[in-house]
Amino acid sequence: MKTLIRAGWTLWLPVLLVTIWWFASANSTNIYVPSLSRIVEVLWRDISSGLLIDAARVSLTNLAVGLLIAAAVGILLGLLIGETRRLRLILDPYIHFFRSVPQSALVPLIIGAMGIGAAPKIYTVAFACVWPILLNTIDGVRGVEPTIRSVSRVFGVPKLLYFRRVVLPGAMPQVVAGLRVALPIGIVVMVVSELFASNQGLGFYILNSSATFQIPETWGGALMVGVIGYIIVIMFSLFERRVLSWYFRSGAL
């Protein structure tokens, strides 16, 4: 009963908004604002025919590979730069500069140079996502307790073991925070790169339908991307709570 009341409290507004949309758009005469029922109908048609599922698979694969590359490069370099004070001081302005480049501006350059296949999209996502991960990993490494650091040194802990068992876990909360920042950037860059030029994926579905004036499909594709983005972010926060349960339990926040 208690959970039911709570669900009611949290869900009444979204339900109300969707209901208003449903009825307000039902008799829409504006061809650019199709009725919600029509959008849902089209969405269902293209999901059950597998068209949208395939598109989502293409987009999400690009996103995942790009993010994995960004995470691998960002964490490795971050551990290295964070541990070496000199390197950090020297490279700091450059890293901040690359972090500040509006990621969407990269899209025409990388896609123009490498064509419209999957690889340039993966590179663009990776390039856009690597900087927040890198910066956060550096911050995390710097935050490792100095005492722990000197104890490891005094006991002559081998370098590799030291990185794997001391620095990496110590920096983990910050690393995960970096991934959390990178994730929405990656989704945006994925969508922009597909809207810019593509022949498959969710962005292509949207682009293609708007170019051929299939307006309900355009709305449907946009909603689909939004819902997928929302699900990814929610799943990530669940993953974060799991991976960092020791950190949240320690009350360090």
| Binding stretches for other proteins (CB under 8 A) | 6, 9-14, 17, 32-33, 86, 89-91, 93-94, 96-98, 100-109, 112-114, 132, 135-136, 139, 142-143, 173-174, 177-178, 180-181, 184, 187-188, 191-192, 195-196, 202-203, 206-207, 210, 215, 218-219, 221-222, 225-226, 229-230, 232-234
Q: Using the minimum distance from each CB to other proteins, give the nearer residue, 69 or 184.
A: 184
- Residue 160 CB, shortest distance to other proteins, in Å, is 26
- Residue 163 CB, shortest distance to other proteins, in Å, is 21
- Residue 211 CB, shortest distance to other proteins, in Å, is 9
Question: Do 74 and 127 contact (CB within 8 A), yes or no?
Answer: no
- Residue 101 CB, shortest distance to other proteins, in Å, is 4
Q: Using the minimum distance from each CB to other proteins, give the nearer residue, 92 or 161.
A: 92
Q: Using the minimum distance from each CB to other proteins, give the nearer residue, 157 or 210.
A: 210
- Chain centroid to Cα 248, Å, comes to 22
Question: Do 59 and 201 contact (CB within 8 A), yes or no?
Answer: yes
- Residue 192 CB, shortest distance to other proteins, in Å, is 5
* Residue 4 CB neighbour total at 10 angstroms: 8
Q: Using the minimum distance from each CB to other proteins, give the nearer residue, 28 or 158.
A: 28
Place of tokens 């669900």: 7
Of 127, 159, 4, nearest to 168 by C-alpha is 159
Question: Do 250 and 169 contact (CB within 8 A), yes or no?
Answer: no
Distance CA 19, CA 11 (A): 12
DSSP 158: -
- Residue 230 CB, shortest distance to other proteins, in Å, is 4
Q: Using the minimum distance from each CB to other proteins, give the nearer residue, 160 or 211.
A: 211
Q: Using the minimum distance from each CB to other proteins, give the nearer residue, 96 or 165.
A: 96
Of 134, 131, 128, nearest to 110 by C-alpha is 128
Asked whether the CA dihedral 243, 78, 140, 98 is positive or negative, the reply is: negative
- In 3-state terms, what secondary structure has residue 128? helix
- Residue 241 CB, shortest distance to other proteins, in Å, is 14
Q: Using the minimum distance from each CB to other proteins, give the nearer residue, 95 or 152.
A: 95
Residues 6+ apart with CB under 8 A from 239: none
Residues 6+ apart with CB under 8 A from 210: 218
